[in-house]
Amino acid sequence: MGLTSGTLLLVAIVAAAGSLVAIVWVWPRLARQRLAYLAARLAAIAVSQLLVIAAFLIWLNSYFSFYASWSQLPGASAGTRLAMPQRAVAGPVTVFGSSPGPAPGRSRLAPLADGAGTLPRETAASAPATAGRLQQVVIRGERTGLSSGPGYVYLPPQYFQPAYARARFPVVLAVTGYPGLAGGIIHRLALPAVAARLIADGRARPTVYVMLTVSPLFPADTECTDIPGGPQVASFLAQDVPRAVEQTFRVTATPAGWGVLGYSTGGYCAVKLAMMYPDRFSAAVSMAGYYQGVRGHPVPGLWGGSIGYWHENSPGWRLRHLPAPPVSVLVTSSRVGDESLPGTLAFLREIRPPMRGYSLIIPEGGHNFRTWSRELTPCLKWLSRRLS
Amino acid sequence: MGLRGMPLLVLLVVAAAGLLAGTLWLWPALARRGASVIALRIGLLVALQASVLGVVFVSVNRAYGFYASWSDLLGTDHTVAQIVVARPGVTRAAAVDPASPLMSLASSPVVVPGARRGQGGRLEEVRFAGPVSGIATTGHVYLPPGYSPASRPLPVIVVISRQAGSGAASYGAQRIAAVAAAQIRADRMAPAIVAVLSPAVAGRADQGCLDSPGGPQAGTFFSQDLPRALTLAYHAAPGPSGWAVLGGAGGGYCALQLATAPSGQFGVAAAAPGTYTLPPGRGETGGSPGLRSQDNLLWRLRHWPAPPVRILFAGPGQARQFISLVRPPMTVATIGPAAGPPPLAPALDWIGHALAGRP
């Protein structure tokens, strides 16, 4: 039974409720004044409590799109070495399903079509030129051999309109936090819905959005890093993915047309990748990100045992020791409720030309999708003004 | 009472403990029959479960900082702030002016025997300034006859040679430009832009065009800054299919290293045969065994997917191990001679063919 399947959640809820009913039922039989019966009452309450907590956690996991399967849970894969990828035989981008894009501002989506790409009966409102398309894809890296895992590409309505038949669109690569599945960007952050509304209102130019999990080797936490002697995740996200997208979709091939956005770990990655690969990205949005590589990390050898390599992977260190790259970054945080504030303000102070810094600090908001959804509209508008 | 505050957690813990004790205590009293008694049982159990769940949720939220407040949790706060432009920090006297990643210092015509002046193209002495690596260095760029920014984009050959600066040496910029001009004139090679640089760009000994952890970023210079500078300054074909790297005089490791790097800016590479298990000067790895492993090009061929690049070994010597590890889509070719210096003209011809996508 899949970790995120509705059946599992239903079974968990039924079990939790059933345990409560059972306690009420056996209550009189446990009512005697002996220590053994007291222990039995306690045990019954504990078992029931655990079932309730289990049901709650299963719901929480699907709601926040943390883990997709049992084997991905922490502990299940502990100690396994990161396997080196093998070359993929398929093309750079494989489309597994396609559905009409969301109506502007509506996060509820039509279910994705099956692998054959057959859509439910197409109406005028769901035609590609009206609704755009949301495709489920897997992107394979030509050079790194890594695979993105399930990801999404949102193609705006204009992509299918005759007036734009020869246009090449700007691209925003959106990456999740860790842990996180690409579905979180669609269901919790509602990025395609917000983008659809901004594009429909003319507040953002038509843009292609590519949405991926931040760690292609999920559940391993790779922090978008070219791991010494291991998987080259930075090169995958910053070189292989743009190249594959350029080969598959009508998008711009210059850095002026490419932006990268992420939240939490994805925010760190957005800024780091833009600073390390200004030949690919000209703008980055980091929502509640951090600006120094993580230390004491569970992935063995993330920085190859080298302080210098860790420094290179820290955006703050790069600003202090390397020239500022020609990119624009927008960093967000909140005055109350998010620990990312001090690091964000310190990073902002280091930014100097030709790099340009922008900040969006809201009064209050925790480290959650609700905060990031609030910030998303201004962030996407900001990106749209910077991409051509 | 704040969602993240201690009072709420204390209240929930006290409530949970009280409800647990109360449930155990009142258990016998609630063992009678009757609807009201059953309702009380259900009420007590649900309250107990809810308070324990509350303790779990509030402690996890306090530890990870997911929700800041009740309005944050319930989604009733819709406040958004304005985007503010950061006041730029102090600009240090930068070694690199990013506004001009490539500056032409001098330009001279390339003379081809038997051709009129001006039909050999021209050789420019240029200064590269890398905005990502911070490395500034000089080099030469050969522009073939008829090159103009308006004409169709030309493929690019980057030659990395320790003799880059020493004029007429066999792998010096002037001789490379002269040979390229002659091959183009004789129609043996398609016109290409040829950049000639020394591998020792970071102001110290050649490190195999690799990044030193926390130190000089020569790898970043060759894979990021150089392609960007050449693309901005000249009408160059897009990489990696239109870009080649030729390792001459001590630049072989650089060429093969850059061609097999995951950043992948080059689709074609040529070098003298060799073992290529160690960078020149052993490289700097910052004490990282992982970086040491991947500096060995044979290790890369064994452990990384074969990149879509075409490799040429030109000149005397052996590269048996390297060649035996090459897998599709990577291809490898060799040309002689068995002795003497690596031949420049046949290597350029081969690269020109490979860039044009011909076998």
Q: What CATH number should be reported for the domain holding residue B301?
A: 3.40.50.1820
pLDDT value for B338: 67
C-beta of residue A227 within 8 angstroms of C-beta of residue A136: no
Same domain, B170 and B219: yes
In chain B, residues with a C-beta closer than 8 Å to the C-beta of A33 are 28
pLDDT value for A108: 56
pLDDT of residue B336 exceeding 80 = no
Q: Which residue of A has its CA nearest to B296?
A: A229
Same domain, B208 and B312: yes
Give percent of chain B with pLDDT exceeding 70. 94
Is residue B89, in this structure, part of any structural domain at all?
A: no
A306 at the B interface (CB within 8 A)? yes
Q: Enumerate residues 317 to 336 of chain B having a beta carbon within 8 A of any beta carbon in chain A.
A: none
Same domain, B39 and B180: no
Task: Give the pLDDT band (50/70/90) at residue B254.
Answer: very high
Is residue B328, in this structure, part of any structural domain at all?
A: yes
Same domain, B54 and B166: no
Instruction: For residues B136 and B258, give the distance between their C-alpha atoms in angstroms, rounded to a whole number.
Output: 19
Residue range A76-98: average pLDDT? Answer: 60
pLDDT of residue A226 exceeding 90 = yes
pLDDT value for A87: 44
Return the higher-pLDDT residue of A108 and B292.
B292
pLDDT value for A196: 93
Is residue B81, in this structure, part of any structural domain at all?
A: no
A362 at the B interface (CB within 8 A)? yes
Which of A305, A363, A375 comes nearest B289 by C-beta? A305
pLDDT value for A79: 43
Q: Enumerate residues 156 to 185 of chain A having a beta carbon within 8 A of any beta carbon in chain B.
A: none
Which of A368, A377, A380, A385 to mutate to test binding with chain B, by most B CBs within 10 Å of its CB? Answer: A368
Q: What is the pLDDT of residues B137-178, one digit of tens each?
A: 999 999 999 898 888 899 999 999 888 777 677 788 888 999
- Å between B87 CA and nearest CA of chain A: 8
Task: Give the pLDDT band (50/70/90) at residue B270.
Answer: very high
In angstroms, how far is CA A7 from the centroid of its own chain? 25
The dihedrals phi and psi of A305, each to the nearest 5 degrees, come to 70, 20
In chain A, residues with a C-beta closer than 8 Å to the C-beta of B4 are 337
Return the higher-pLDDT residue of A236 and A188.
A236
Cβ distance A370 to B72 less than 8 Å, yes or no, reads yes
Q: What is the pLDDT of residues A296-352, one digit of tens each?
A: 766 778 898 899 999 999 999 999 999 899 999 999 999 988 889 999 999 999 998
CA nearest neighbour of A287 among A340, A328, A221: A340
Q: Angle B190-B271-B264 (CA atoms, 0-180°, nearest 5)? A: 75
Which of B81, B130, B290 comes nearest A361 by C-beta? B81
B232 at the A interface (CB within 8 A)? no
Cβ distance A20 to B214 less than 8 Å, yes or no, reads no
Measured torsion, CA atoms of residues A380, A382, A384, A387, in degrees rounded to the nearest 10: -130
The upper half-sphere exposure of residue A248, i.e. CA atoms within 13 Å in the direction of its Cβ, equals: 22
Q: Which residue of B has its CA nearest to A379?
A: B83
Same domain, B200 and B113: yes
Is residue B95, in this structure, part of any structural domain at all?
A: no
- Å between B81 CA and nearest CA of chain A: 5
Whose tokens are 């894809």? That residue is A137
Task: Give the pLDDT band (50/70/90) at residue B99.
Answer: low
What is the domain range of residue B270? 102-355
CA nearest neighbour of A357 among A273, A271, A298: A271
What number does CATH give the domain A84-386? 3.40.50.1820
Same domain, B35 and B121: no
A359 at the B interface (CB within 8 A)? yes
pLDDT value for A65: 82
pLDDT value for B111: 84
Q: Residue A247's CB: how many other CB atoms inside 10 A?
A: 13
B283 at the A interface (CB within 8 A)? no
Q: Enumerate residues 138 to 177 of chain B having a beta carbon within 8 A of any beta carbon in chain A.
A: none
Most confident of A81-85, A91-95, B3-7: B3-7
Q: Report the relative pairing of strands A93-100 and A133-139 from DSSP bridges.
A: antiparallel
Cβ distance A45 to B27 less than 8 Å, yes or no, reads no
Residue range B243-251: average pLDDT? Answer: 90
- Å between B25 CA and nearest CA of chain A: 9
Q: What is the pLDDT of residues B43-80, one digit of tens each?
A: 999 999 999 999 999 998 888 788 888 888 888 888 88
Residue range B264-293: average pLDDT? Answer: 88
In angstroms, how far is CA B309 from the centroid of its own chain? 16
Q: Report the relative pairing of strands A328-336 and B268-271 from DSSP bridges.
A: unpaired
Same domain, B60 and B189: no
Task: Give the pLDDT band (50/70/90) at residue B310.
Answer: very high
Return the higher-pLDDT residue of A97 and A10.
A10
Same domain, B42 and B112: no
Same domain, B24 and B133: no
Six token digits for residue B186: 């004789």
Is residue B256, in this structure, part of any structural domain at all?
A: yes
Task: Give the pLDDT band (50/70/90) at residue A32.
Answer: confident
Instruction: For residues A284 and A274, give the distance between their C-alpha atoms in angstroms, rounded to a whole number.
Output: 6
Which of A25, A45, A56 to mutate to test binding with chain B, by most B CBs within 10 Å of its CB? Answer: A45
Is residue B86, in this structure, part of any structural domain at all?
A: no
Most confident of A267-276, B194-203, B326-335: A267-276
pLDDT of residue A72 exceeding 50 = yes
Average per-residue pLDDT for chain B: 87
Average per-residue pLDDT for chain A: 88
pLDDT value for A117: 42
Same domain, B66 and B124: no
Q: Which residue of B has its CA nearest to A278?
A: B132
Q: Where are the beta strands (DSSP E) in A196-313?
A: 208-212, 258-263, 283-287
Is residue B87, in this structure, part of any structural domain at all?
A: no
In chain B, residues with a C-beta closer than 8 Å to the C-beta of A312 are 211, 213-214, 217
Return the higher-pLDDT residue of B337 and A234.
A234
Which of A84, A278, A366 comes nearest B303 by C-beta? A84
pLDDT value for B74: 87
Which of A85, A226, A364 comes nearest B68 by C-beta? A364
Most confident of A19-23, B32-36, B204-208: A19-23
The total domain count for chain B is: 2
Task: Give the pLDDT band (50/70/90) at residue B206.
Answer: confident
